[in-house]
Structure formats: C-alpha cells, structure tokens
Amino acid sequence: MSLRWSWWTRRRCSIPRFGAGAVSTLALALSGCLYGFAGGGLPNIKTVAILPFDNQTAEPALTKEVNDAVLEAFQGRLGLRIAGESNADAVVRGKVSRYDPDVPLVYRAGQGRTDVTRRQVQITIDVEILDQREGKTLWQRQGLSEVGDYAPPREVDGRKVALERLVNDLVDGAQSQW
C-alpha cells in the first residue's frame, strides 16, 4: 500500500490502515468509501417513448398490462423520463405475439380422473429499443418468453409473475447495451 493511497484513504474514510485486519480494512474501505453506484441511469438516453405494444393474442387486457409494466420499469428502474415519440431519445416498441394462459404444470391423480393443481401462463413478446438520435437499434429480441405459475383459477397471478419476468429481461437487456 503506497503512502499516497494510505493518505487518500485516511482523509476520506478515517479507517485504520494497518494491523491484523489490514486486508479486511482495505476491503471495507473499497466498498464503503472509494466508490458507489448511481441509479440505473443510462448515459446517452434520458427520455423514452413507449409505444403501445401490438397485441396479436385473444387477450385484450395484455396491451395495457404490458405497456404499464414496461413504462413503470423504464421510469422507476432506469430513471428515464417519458416523452412523446418525436421528442424522445429512445423508442420502445413491440408486440405481444403469444399468450397461453392454461399450460398444465402439476397433476394429481384421483379416482377415475386427473386434476390439474398448478398451471402456468406463458407470454411471448417481440421488442425493440431504438436510439432515435443515432438511428440505430440498441437492443432487440424476438420471441422473448416468460412463464408464471398459478393455482387455478388465479390466472391473473400467473400473468403478473410472467410480466414481471419479461420486464426484468427487457431492463437487463437494455442495460447490457448501454
């Protein structure tokens, strides 16, 4: 450990630098004093327009649910401001290409019949995030699919879980490109 490092650490952290716990002290200093993490902000993208997702399924409520989930994630987790399409730095557009609300998952055998005790919702989307200033696609995924388990008849619970997972995938994919 150099004298300069020692002086810099002492001035900013007031943590003892030497002794039996020097390694753990250094680790503590690095984790607590020398750097931090900013929110999920993206360096060149400050505003985003989220266009209504096309819905190619028989479930009309999915359009609003997907849009609301994506909007909330981009505002809350990525710290972006919502803007109109013509003024936004980036545009998110996509479509819900598949919705399967009733995939049997767990069976229980009964006398003369079989009962399904757990089911699964599967939602598949195609999505693209476009940087409007640069005119290039930042992130794109075709057939992004997630599932959510539920106990019948609570399909809405499974749909909520699947949407949360889809949005996590979308946010993770978007952040990986910035």
pLDDT at 116 (0 to 100): 82
* Residue 42 covered by a domain: no
Looking at the predicted structure, is the pLDDT value of residue 14 above 60? no
How many domains does the structure of the chain reveal? 2
DSSP strand pairing (113-131 vs 90-110): antiparallel
Do 54 and 139 belong to one domain? yes
Domain presence at residue 87: yes
Q: Give the pLDDT confidence score for residue 15 in this predicted structure.
A: 44
Overall pTM surpassing 0.85 (yes/no): no
- pLDDT above 50 (res 103): yes
The answer on 87 and 156 residing in a single domain is yes
Full domain range(s) for residue 115: 47-177
Residues 60 and 82 in one domain: yes
What is the distance of C-alpha 65 from the center of its chain? 15
pLDDT in tens, 138-161: 999 999 999 999 998 999 999 999
Q: Are residues 152 and 173 in the same domain?
A: yes
Q: Are residues 164 and 87 in the same domain?
A: yes
Residues 101 and 138 in one domain: yes
CATH number of the domain at 77, please: 3.40.50.10610
pLDDT number for residue 117: 86
DSSP string, 47-79: EEEEPPPEE-SS-TTHHHHHHHHHHHHHHHTT-
Same-domain pairing of 51 and 122? yes
pLDDT one-digit tens code per residue, 58-102 = 999 999 999 999 999 999 999 999 999 999 999 999 999 999 998
- Kindly provide the residue ranges of all beta strands, DSSP E only, lying in the chain, ordered along the sequence: 47-50, 54-55, 81-82, 90-110, 113-131, 136-150
For the chain, give the percent of residues with pLDDT over 70.
75
The predicted-structure confidence for 104-118, as pLDDT tens digits, reads as follows 888 788 788 878 889
